[in-house]
Amino acid sequence: MIMQECMRYYGPGDMVSLSDIRQAGCEGVVSSLHQIAYGEVWPVEEIRKRQKQIADAGMVWSVVESLPVHDDIKNRTGAFRKYLENYKISIRNLAECGIHVITYNFMPVLDWIRTDLEYQLPDGSKALYFNRTEFAAFELFVLRRVDAEKDYTPAEFAAAKRYFDALSSERRAVLERNIIDNFPGFKGVTLATIREALARAGALTDEVLREHLRLFLEEVTPVCLECGSIMTIHPDDPPFPILGLPRIFSTIDDIETLLRMVDNPANGICFCSGSFSGRRENDIVAMFRKAAPRVGFVHLRSTAHDGKGNFYEANHLEGVVDMYHLVKEILAESQRRKEAGRADWRIPMRPDHGHTMLDDLRKPMCANPGYTAIGRMKGLAELRGLELGVLKSCFPALG
């Protein structure tokens, strides 16, 4: 196949083993050193240890996802200068080990957000789900964010209050945990943690956060150029403002702005079709065309919407993403790169956020929501079949 097919692996504690990933048909692994605190240096010996685990299983560590950007860097406060220098050392250490694709995000305070990690679908499988009323109930009546009511209409506020009032104390605790405490490497988060982080980020606007991203990239991309590495930014998820905070990588205009702000090949994109598709008006195929020369890594998934601001993770070939034409565009970019003699002509890809289904429904809840074995293997199988069909019919020279 042309795309380098990978799966995400969270380390030795992951319930989906490296053997499982290899049996699913992957040649590459996407991983991170979640045991190292945000902002600290990744030592060469720790990188090599994970790399050897993956190599011993017959695969390669293709992409780092993620090398986290400390919130002090996003805010330009506190120890941000120290964390920037640590980040540069980690880039060099990864390059010394032969790992050159580095994914990160620039979402302040919280990473991706869902309100339900076990949303029941009609076929009995379970998906990740974002419900606007549930999220409003969380930030209005659980987190009690200052001025949160300004972000909602009176009708939305009333709906959130009705929903919250009907929840048992147990369900309120589940809603809280779903939103703030499901990130590997960032466990034990409390409401107090989030309130403190929001206070530190209080001055952020779109313009300020975008400028902080530019300053970050101006610091780290020269190191990447020295090392032959690429920074690939992950889209905001969901791709609209959350918790009163800006989200600056959600639209085609944001792609254009990113590519202009630091115009060098080390400033790249992790093209996550599912994250971008959380904003219903986004044209995912057009966005890939705009981003294509700088795409260093691809996540393929899709979402289904109800027209009320709510969405769930769809099957990989369903939902709002035109997956046929997206895969066709990815292969077209691969062909352009191959003809230009680029070493990165095979773009790493992973299926993203598979459903919990079949035997996985009878196992303890996956420690990493969206990353069960069978749902991702189903998604990968669908994507491999689609890729092969597009390849044979449209790009025979690549095959």
* Residue keyed to tokens 């980020």: 201
DSSP 3-state percent helix, strand, coil across the chain (nearest 5): 45, 15, 40
| CB neighbours of residue 356 within 10 Å | 26
The candidate with the shortest Cα–Cα distance to 41, out of 81, 7, 88, is: 88
The candidate with the shortest Cα–Cα distance to 354, out of 277, 301, 276, is: 301
Decide the pairing of beta strands 116-120 and 303-305.
unpaired
C-alpha dist (Å) from residue 151 to 108, 139, 155, 241, 367: 18, 11, 12, 10, 32
The candidate with the shortest Cα–Cα distance to 312, out of 118, 162, 178, 139, is: 118
At 358, which amino acid appears? Answer: L
* Residue keyed to tokens 């695969």: 59
CA dihedral sign of residues 389, 391, 395, 399: negative
Decide the pairing of beta strands 28-31 and 303-305.
unpaired
Q: Mark whether 272 is an active-site residue.
A: yes
Q: Mark whether 316 is an active-site residue.
A: no
Taking the C-alpha atoms of residue 286 and residue 277, their distance in angstroms, rounded to an integer, is 12
CB 297 within 8 A of CB 271: yes
**Catalytic site residue from 70, 212, 234, 316:** 234
Burial of 192 (0-12, 13-18, 19+ CB in 10 A): exposed
Q: Mark whether 305 is an active-site residue.
A: no
Q: Mark whether 224 is an active-site residue.
A: no
Q: Mark whether 70 is an active-site residue.
A: no
Longest CA–CA separation in the chain, Å: 61
Taking the C-alpha atoms of residue 130 and residue 305, their distance in angstroms, rounded to an integer, is 10
**Catalytic site residue from 26, 353, 355, 366:** 353
**Catalytic site residue from 34, 70, 100, 299:** 299
**Catalytic site residue from 272, 312, 355, 360:** 272
Residues 6 or more apart whose Cβ sits within 8 Å of residue 242? 107, 110, 113, 135
By annotation, the residues acting in catalysis are 234, 272, 299, 352-353, 371
